[in-house]
Amino acid sequence: MGWIAHARRRASLAMGTTMPISRDIRSDPLSNHHPVFAVKNAIYVAVMQIWVIVMGVLFGALDVKILNGLLMPPALGFLMNYFILFLAVPPTWITLAMLIRQRPNLSDEIKNLFFWCGVLVLVALVLFMGYTDLTPWLHGMWTMAENGE
What average pLDDT does range 17-38 have in this prediction?
Answer: 55
What average pLDDT does range 12-33 have in this prediction?
Answer: 54
pLDDT at position 45, please?
Answer: 93
pLDDT at position 31, please?
Answer: 47
Mean of pLDDT over the chain: 79
Contacts 24+ apart (CB under 8 A), 112-120: 112/35, 112/36, 112/37, 114/37, 115/36, 115/37, 115/41, 115/42, 115/45, 116/36, 117/93, 118/42, 118/45, 118/46, 118/49, 118/93, 118/94, 119/45
What average pLDDT does range 72-81 have in this prediction?
Answer: 86
Whether the predicted pLDDT of 135 surpasses 90? no
What pTM does this model have? 0.69
pLDDT at position 149, please?
Answer: 52
Dump pLDDT digits (tens) for 38-55.
888 889 999 999 999 999
